[in-house]
Amino acid sequence: MSDHAVEPVLSGPVTYPGSDYQGLGFFQPPPEPPRRRLLPIILAAVAIVLVAGAVVTVVLLNRQAGGTAAPPSTSANRPTSTTTTTTTAPRPTGGQSVPNPDSKITYDVPKEWTVRAATDTYTLQSLPGVTLTHLTSLSPYTCENKNYSRGIVGTGTVERAEINQRATDLAKAFGTEFYAGTNTAEVVVGTPKRITRTGDNGEEAVGVEITATVTTAGDGCLAGQGEVVVVLLDYQDQFRLLVVNGDLKGGPDTPPSPGADDLESIATSGRPVG
């Protein structure tokens, strides 16, 4: 896999043309009416004009560009979000949970993954202050006297910022550094999707998940293609971070790479704790 290659240390009225008259009808009063009879008539005319103006305003406001009235708002015609929300977290079959009480986030991995020593950490070089702890890894191997593994997962915290941009930057950075053994690594970052995750004791957090695909060439020890999934949960006034990385294809014939489904299962299991 990666360099985790080298294993980490880890509206108005109507106006008729040509006239000064405004209103919806014509009124001819009888000659010399008593003045006291004028007031009700005037008030009635004003009321008619106001009602007509209101009707015109409503019609104009509800008329669409094609000249038809807009339909009532229903669930069928409301704007729909392009993001996906996940409220449950399927667990990998036969897996094990890896809680991080310090970062208040936990995740599950299949039984084939190994929980690393508590002292193992992985620190990003390009984004200061980002360190993964509570690591698990998959299938370590040696190639050309260097230590590699087919996958790595870890958790941590990062400073709050605009969450989509933060997730994008993290996915790019981890993808680049995990496969730093080649100068031709290309990292393509996808679009963040909105998520909601519920913890084992009912804790709830919203956040985003984003996937980056890494393609390499010219290094037989590294996978030709890998994937990095970043989960950021906005929980208790801080971003809780889960990073899932695994090779997809290429590199040595053995050990085998994890499937993309396994990586997504791990990422989906990320949830708040405490």
Please indicate, yes or no, whether the overall pTM of this predicted structure exceeds 0.75. Answer: no
Return the closest-CA partner of residue 267 out of 112, 131, 101, 109: 109
Tell me whether residue 3 is in a domain.
no
* pLDDT for residue 50: 46
DSSP annotation string for 97-133: EEEETTTTEEEEE-TTSEEPPTT--EE-SSSTT-EEE
* CATH for 223: 3.40.1000.10
Tell me whether residue 78 is in a domain.
no
* pLDDT for residue 92: 56
β-bridge partners, 262:
none
Distance CA 124, CA 13 (A): 68
Q: Which residues of the chain have pLDDT under 50?
A: 2, 6, 8-34, 36, 38-43, 46, 48-84
Q: Which domain holds residue 264?
A: 96-272
* pLDDT for residue 4: 56
Tell me whether residue 196 is in a domain.
yes
pLDDT tens for each residue of 110-134? 999 999 999 999 999 999 999 999 9
Tell me whether residue 27 is in a domain.
no
Tell me whether residue 229 is in a domain.
yes
Return the closest-CA partner of residue 5 out of 229, 231, 216, 241: 216
DSSP annotation string for 133-195: EEEEEEEEEEETTEEEEEEEEEEEEE--S-HHHHHHHHHHHHHHHHTTT-TT-EEEE---EEE
Tell me whether residue 165 is in a domain.
yes
* Greatest Cα-to-Cα distance within the chain, rounded to the nearest angstrom: 115
Tell me whether residue 157 is in a domain.
yes
Are 95 and 110 in contact, with CB atoms under 8 Å apart? yes
The two structure tokens encoding residue 201: 């004791």
Are 153 and 113 in contact, with CB atoms under 8 Å apart? yes
* pLDDT for residue 86: 52
pLDDT tens for each residue of 72-123? 322 222 233 344 455 555 565 678 999 999 999 999 999 999 999 999 999 9
The two structure tokens encoding residue 267: 């990422």
Tell me whether residue 54 is in a domain.
no
* pLDDT for residue 254: 92
**Number of independent structural domains in the chain:** 1
